[in-house]
Chains A and B, each alone.
Chain A
């Protein structure tokens, strides 16, 4: 399901989303977003990364016309969101603080929006199906869990089959299976060609969970304190950073020895043997050769994190807190691919 598209090939295409000098000042003195310039292009997932309070949500809400910029602009194909004729058909948005009337059923919630956008109700059932809520569609949203609300929010965003999808911290409230499903879904959605163009769709995901984001995004926009810290393709940004392999084994000493013999840097950290700057493909054969018993082997994906801390100076993020969050997800993020989640895999929906 991992589809990677070389975005450089379609570089001549106009970016679908362009921000220029985008600035937002709240209450006169809080500068949430400060002269931000960025582009998002179709065919890939663009990660909008930054610590809490970096201005991610504010920027996305300006893109969606919910918050007015103090100065500057963010445009969709050269048009403000507020001037799009029927924005539901162009842009789908999954927002954290979006609301549901607790007494309204999920299906009716979608029907209200479908009515506003002139979308047939058959599409409502399709979308409920797509996010795995078809059985709970007639229940009141008041009884929904956080994860179910998040799925309903995604269903609403997909109603108009938009070619731009904007998601603000979509992983919040989802269980590990749900996150894995969402990851596959976003990659598929971004790569699938939309309408008449072959360049795929534009997907923007904001996240503070870097190890998770790293598995999904093709392009990265890093925000720190409302300013652009870095923008580019993920591989390019990570080009210079180190990789590492961590191994848990009862034969710690022998492994360190073997690695050093192979001229690789090896050290012991927290009971793990850590080998920096190499791929698992290098470490694996050495262990087999030396008949070293392995209990766990992890290829480090902390590179985006370290890059991130480098760029943002660790600002606004408590290292302990961040590490805790990463730790929660690392287990599944780096483990074997999750089995298909209850919602049907997105490939079954390619009926456009």
Chain B
């Protein structure tokens, strides 16, 4: 089994699509992170409805949006198995290891490992975004306006002056600090990394069942982005058991992030179990049906 695992790793690092996938991940993470961070007037979220730049809630939003990269892990999982069919490398693979279940098991292991790596890269990008935000000393002032309610004023002046201006207006002053950043990052990272890894297993299961690369990617992304969202909105008690929300449940901070507040979620271990069940069950069904078919 060790040989099969090493061979699967070799398969991944000897083709450029793997590096393209990681490249896309890095770009998407940085774009998402900064886009959420600098969204004008803060972001909706929490109970306050307003997220001031530099606050802990703000960092939570910046980091938890990165869990979207699990969609790329899903694609990775799909590619690991359907790529073999697309390029017909499945023939030499099954010639060298005719016990197909073992091949799929090795792929599940490598899919999980690859997903964990993608999750780790994601959170590393998150850390870079966070450090940049801390270095920029992004700050804001929340004041109370009698008619409008709470107002967030991102201040573009120098920090010292901004602080003085804020206190002059009897506002609450926020500034991005390394301590807040680290606190939020370390709270979110484990869930995102584990969720990304488990999502790769889910993608692999889909690939094993559907065998066709394009179909598996379309079904995987379409279900996660569209179908799950609809079901989650109409029947939240069903939605929480679906893969996307199960992955969200893994993040400790998800319940307080801008996306998680109106979501009904399982406990984190429940989410992990559900994802694992989805991936392994799909892969098992795929192995005993689709993958048993003749290679012609």
Which A residues fall within an 8 A CB radius of B?
A: 26, 57-58, 61, 64-68, 81-82, 84, 87-88, 93, 95, 97-105, 108-109, 111-113, 115-118, 156
Contact = CB atoms under 8 A, between A and B. Distances in A.
Nearest to A153: B92
28 contacts: A57-B296, A61-B296, A65-B94, A65-B98, A66-B95, A67-B294, A81-B98, A84-B98, A87-B95, A97-B88, A99-B90, A99-B91, A100-B87, A100-B89, A101-B83, A101-B87, A104-B14, A108-B10, A111-B10, A111-B14, A112-B7, A112-B92, A113-B7, A115-B10, A116-B4, A116-B7, A117-B3, A156-B92
B17 A103 contact: yes
Contacts of A65: 94-95, 98
Contacts of A67: 294-296
B25 to A, nearest CB: 19
Contacts, number: 89
B3 A116 contact: yes
Contacts of B87: 99-102
Contact of B88 (A26, A98, A109): A98
Contacts of B183: none
A198 B179 CA distance: 76
Given A65-B98, A103-B15, 18 more contacts: A26-B294, A64-B98, A65-B94, A67-B295, A82-B99, A87-B95, A98-B91, A98-B92, A99-B87, A101-B14, A104-B11, A105-B14, A111-B10, A112-B7, A112-B92, A113-B92, A116-B3, A116-B7
Given A65-B98, A117-B96, A95 B91 contact: yes
Q: In terms of DSSP, what is the predominant structure of the interface of chain A?
A: mixed
A66 B10 contact: no
B17 to A, nearest CB: 7
A99 B3 contact: no
Given A97-B88, A103-B17, A116-B7, A87 B98 contact: yes
B89 A61 contact: no
Contacts of B96: 87-88, 113, 116-117
B31 interface: no
Contacts of A101: 11, 14-15, 83, 87, 89
A97 B294 contact: no
B7 A115 contact: yes
A220 to B, nearest CB: 25
Contact of B16 (A57, A93, A99, A103): A103
Given A97-B91, A100-B87, A101-B89, A115 B3 contact: yes
B97 A66 contact: no
Contact of A112 (B11, B91, B295): B11
A75 to B, nearest CB: 13
Contacts of B88: 97-100
B6 interface: yes
Nearest to B90: A99
A280 B17 CA distance: 60
Contacts of A98: 88, 91-92
Contacts of B4: 116
A93 B98 CA distance: 13
Contacts of A100: 87-89
Interface string B79-106: 0000100011111111111110000000
B202 to A, nearest CB: 24
A103 B21 CA distance: 15
A66 B295 contact: yes
A265 to B, nearest CB: 48
A111 B17 CA distance: 19
Contact of A99 (B15, B92, B294): B92
A347 B296 CA distance: 34
Contacts of A115: 3, 6-7, 10
Interface centre among A58, A61, A64, A112 (most CB of B within 10 A): A112
A255 B33 CA distance: 92
Contacts of B15: 101, 103-104
Contacts of B295: 61, 66-67
B90 to A, nearest CB: 7
Contacts of A84: 98
A93 B92 CA distance: 9
B245 to A, nearest CB: 35
Interface in B279-296: 292, 294-296
A118 B223 CA distance: 40
Interface in B240-296: 292, 294-296
A81 B98 CA distance: 7
A64 B89 contact: no
A97 B296 contact: yes
Contacts of B10: 108, 111-112, 115
Contact of B14 (A88, A112, A113, A118): A112
Q: Which of B88, B92, B95 has the most CB of A within 10 A?
A: B95
A59 B226 CA distance: 46
Closest 8 CB pairs of A and B: A99-B88, A108-B14, A115-B7, A67-B294, A66-B295, A82-B98, A65-B98, A116-B96
A78 B19 CA distance: 45
Nearest to A92: B95
Contacts of B91: 66, 95, 97-99
